[in-house]
Chain A
Amino acid sequence: MGQSGDVGRLVVPGDSLGEIGERRAGHGVLRRNGELIVTRLGHLQEKAGELSVHPVHTTYTPRPGDLIVGYVEGMRSNIWFIDIGGPFNAILPMSLAAGKVDFGATREYMNVGSAVLCRVQEVDENHGAVVTMKGMGLRKLNSGFVDRVPPHLLSRVVGVEGIMLKSIKEASDCRMVVGQNGRIWIEGDASGTRLARSALSVIREAGHLPDIESRVRGILEA
């Protein structure tokens, strides 16, 4: 996640950032014919000589170690297919479930539509992904609600040193887990859940604006 507040001018795919010189090409920037070229719509960032783009829209790309919320999309006797909200699905082998699961009993353990808090174990070159439920707190989510915020706006949900997430949790009196795939688990009473969801909805709509923090605070304090 990029640094919040460090947003520069809007750049568009194809924009030239001039000769490469001493600078390096980061995310959303490409070297071509001695020049740095923008490849994604977003706001330009520069950090330690590296130029990158903070995109206005992203799809989740899984990386090993990511904490995510997945949905069971299907299963076989020893495996679940998990929708991770990315450009491809992942598999969850029976052996990586939270407890012991008997061969052929995958459906009894988690059926289609179940939400699961899991971690990305590995992603191969061909975008085959494996997720695991082995680890602290990883589990099937039996209660609460899952909302979505695009992955590039998660830094707005969390805030500097987690301060924004803390404020949302406190104001709404909800438990929340922010999945790196943009799915956010919320558990609390109905009015609390609604408040937390309103805060997330403001971030979805206006997360790219510089005054987003005060907008969210406005919702929480109203």
Chain B
Amino acid sequence: MSIPLVPGLLRDHLRELSERDERVDGRGRLEGRPLEVEVNPIERAEGSARVRMGDTIVYAGVKFQIMTPYSDRPDQGGLMTSAEIRPIAGRNWEPGPPSEESIELGRVVDRGIRESGCIDVNKLCILPGEKAWQVIIDLHAISDDGNLFDAFALAAIVALRNATLPAERFDVGEDERLELSCTPIMCSYHKVGGRFVYDANGEEELGGDERIHITLGDDGHVHSLQKGLRGAFTSEEFNDIMGAARARREELMQLVESLEQD
């Protein structure tokens, strides 16, 4: 990613707004942008989702491959998450090998899903030592107006929950729905004008400081955390956004459940 120019006036403006408990687009501090989720828009993928949060638009696609299990875990399948921010997503995203930013994005989303244990890798085994399913989640951004993290994580979990194992195509049984034991959901908070806000837009990211990503599963369990970018925060600040994340996770969970397809 090329380094975008941060206009000095933007930072000052964001600070002034923050002092009045306002945001640049008029939202409340913990309010998300309008959210739109489309289930299985990609016919070729075994599960897919399109998520729009304000002017941020992303796709997630799930594909399955048959793998040979690793010798030290002969009865387990695999999971891989990969994010590639192609230059279509914005002026500052450049062609070439995945940037550090896209690698971080993919890994943070991956950890939330992996560590939640929502996919039981033992159930992905077809024939111990010989055949197992590998689940691959590809994250693809179309328009980056901030907070790709939450958009990707939401698209990934919706795509997984609506994915079908293509067993017939690989001649290893009948097609069946991928089973998920819980639903990890990420909520991200950016320090903007000296305080944390939920779901920062592109302008807030540009003129903001550090960010914190929290992935929560069922029953309040924490599955992954990541602090990114330059900046320091206090325990009080963290407790505040953790509380906010717990509340927001439940709202998003309701949305995810309402999208289930048969």
Contacts and interface: CB of A to CB of B under 8 A. Distances in A.
Given A190-B22, A194-B26, A115 B16 contact: no
Contacts of B16: 190
Interface string B20-40: 101000100000000000000
A190 B9 contact: no
Interface stretch (A90-98, A138-146, A209-217): A138-146
Contacts of A163: none
Interface stretch (A106-114, A123-131, A166-174): A106-114
A187 B65 CA distance: 57
B96 interface: no
Given A190-B16, A190-B17, A144 B9 contact: yes
Interface of B: 5-10, 12-13, 16-17, 20, 22, 26
Interface string A175-200: 00000000000000010011000100
B7 A113 contact: yes
Given A190-B16, A190-B17, A143 B9 contact: yes
Contacts of A145: 9-10, 13
28 contacts: A71-B5, A71-B7, A73-B5, A83-B5, A112-B5, A113-B5, A113-B6, A113-B7, A113-B8, A114-B8, A115-B7, A115-B8, A115-B9, A143-B9, A143-B12, A144-B9, A144-B13, A145-B9, A145-B10, A146-B7, A190-B16, A190-B17, A190-B20, A190-B22, A193-B13, A194-B22, A194-B26, A198-B26
Most A C-beta atoms less than 10 A away, residue of B5, B8, B9, B22 = B9
Contacts, number: 33
Contacts of B13: 144-145, 193
Contact of A111 (B8, B22, B26): B8
A111 B5 CA distance: 11
Contacts of B7: 71, 113, 115, 146
Contacts of B17: 190
Q: Which 3 A-B pairs have the closest CB atoms?
A: A145-B13, A113-B8, A113-B6
Interface string A144-161: 111000000000000000
A170 B10 CA distance: 23
Contacts of A143: 9, 12
Nearest to B12: A143
A197 to B, nearest CB: 8
Contacts of A141: 9
Nearest to B23: A194
A162 B16 CA distance: 29
A112 B5 CA distance: 8
Interface string A52-86: 00000000000000000001010000000001000
B123 to A, nearest CB: 48
Contacts of B10: 145-146
Contacts of B5: 71, 73, 83, 112-113
A185 B86 CA distance: 32
A89 to B, nearest CB: 11
A57 B17 CA distance: 31
Nearest to A197: B24
A151 B111 CA distance: 44
A146 B9 contact: yes
A143 B12 CA distance: 8
A128 B13 CA distance: 32
B227 to A, nearest CB: 24
